[in-house]
Amino acid sequence: MNGVLRGKVWPAQKFLQSVANGTLRMPGSIFDVTVTGDYADDGMDRAYADPDVTLHPDPASMCVAPGFKTPTAFVFADAYTKAGDPYAIAPRHVLRRVLDLYAEMGWSMVVAPELEFYLTAVNTDPDLPLVPPTGRSGRAETAPQPYGLEAITEYEDIIEEIYERAESASLHLDTMIHEAGTAQLEINFNHGEPIYLSDQVLLFKRIVRQVALQNDVYATFMAKPMENQPGSAMHLHISAHDDKGTNLFGGEDGPTQAFRHFVGGLQIYLPHVTPLFAPNVNSFRRMQPDHAAPINLQWGYDNRSCGLRVPISGAGSMRVENRLPGADSNPYLAIASSLVAGYLGLTNRIEPLPMVDGNAYRYERTLPNNLDVALDRMAACTAVRDILGGEFVDSFLRIKVKELSAFQRVISSWERDHLLLKV
């Protein structure tokens, strides 16, 4: 549920036998694990019975797993109940359920994620702040270097190894740049089918972390890992095609009416599904004014202060860039949240607000300020619940409430610094 990869390691022959006889299974409780490793449904009957789910590997997802001594492959699997039904709370199924609604309309949705992350020095004490790593020059960055070629070359060995392993794993990567933060990088993925791209995002994260560790640094996809640095996002470029491949968002005279309704839905409903793309307490530290992280759902042409940016493009590549999701979000659920909101805009023919010019931060904040408020909003949104399914929504909220409760019991260094000897 948190985008943490969980699974099993099999010898190849055992894997094939298990697929053939239908005995590829895992406890269903893995979908109720919090980010702290606890089970969110403890005390419930299902927690004690913990029935298995059957795993159906997706052959299209199989790829080389780079970096292993023994030739190894990755494969994603879908979870099914003993009755043969899709396991309702599995994020891959949740996204597929939303995509099926578009398929009924004759639409195919296309996404292209842009994923930001930081390289940091090794940090073994969680009470100590993260700091930039030492580069090839023997020095660490101390100032922003957006698009800096000399700056990105400091980590050339790491970047080259990431690309090599990504190519081995058949990831379809595009451009990598140095972002605004110290030792902050961004990778662009080529556009494609949403479930396939979600798989790729998770594989990329694993590859980056492993390459970083082997080079004696950390790689983090936290939304806000350092106090005085920009946060890390997962911007989503979203478009729609018909069965002939025609872009349904762009017309001869500009954006189509369908595109406007899609954006209208994003503006109304994304504030009600914020936990799906900002799932952690730390996620909301990123969404602050003037830190390249929008706080509302204004939209505008080529305007990066807007939550919804419309890149300058022709009819064939018309799309909206949702700049709200954090790099810490589960890609299946972050994409599902956008597509659910857009679908509701289309079916209810919601008109968007007027486009804005200039600084969108001057407009009122429409996103929740913290995870507590965001969870309350999501729990109250029946329209989203009806689409995503009550079992999934209840399970997701149960996990997040338990994580929030665990966080609220922690005494922070800020409290010790300012309250210990003063109040």
pLDDT in 10s for each residue of the chain, 423 residues: 999 999 999 999 999 999 999 899 999 999 999 999 999 976 665 556 788 999 999 999 999 999 999 999 999 999 999 999 999 999 999 999 999 999 999 999 999 999 999 999 999 999 999 999 999 999 999 988 999 999 999 999 999 999 999 999 999 999 999 999 999 999 999 999 999 999 999 999 999 999 999 999 999 999 999 999 999 999 999 999 999 999 999 988 889 999 999 999 999 999 999 999 999 999 999 998 766 789 999 999 999 999 999 999 999 999 999 999 999 999 999 999 999 999 999 999 999 999 999 999 999 999 999 999 999 999 999 999 999 999 999 999 999 999 999 999 999 999 999 999 999
Q: What radius of gyration do the chain's Cα atoms show? A: 22
pLDDT of residue 253: 84
* Single-letter code of the amino acid located at 12: A
Identify the CA nearest to 381 among candidates 287, 288, 271: 271
Max CA pair span of the chain: 69
Superfamily of domain 99-414: Glutamine synthetase/guanido kinase, catalytic domain (3.30.590.10)
| Identity of the residue numbered 6 | R
pLDDT at residue 152 in the model: 94
Closest CA to 295 of 316, 313, 276, 271: 271
* pTM for the predicted model, two decimal places: 0.96
Predicted local confidence at residue 290, as pLDDT: 64
pLDDT at 318: 96
- Provide the pLDDT for residue 50: 85
What per-residue confidence (pLDDT) applies to 193?
98
Contacts 24+ apart (CB under 8 A), 136-144: 140/182, 140/183, 141/182, 141/183, 142/182, 143/182, 144/180, 144/181, 144/182
Is the Cα dihedral 44, 50, 56, 61 positive or negative?
positive
Q: Where are the domains of the chain?
A: 20-87, 99-414
Q: pLDDT at position 291, please?
A: 63
Check residue 43 and give its pLDDT: 62
SS3 call for 305: coil
The pLDDT score that the predictor gives to residue 254 is 87
How far apart, in whole angstroms, are the C-alpha atoms of residue 271 and residue 286?
16
Rounded CA-CA distance 69/420 in Å is 51
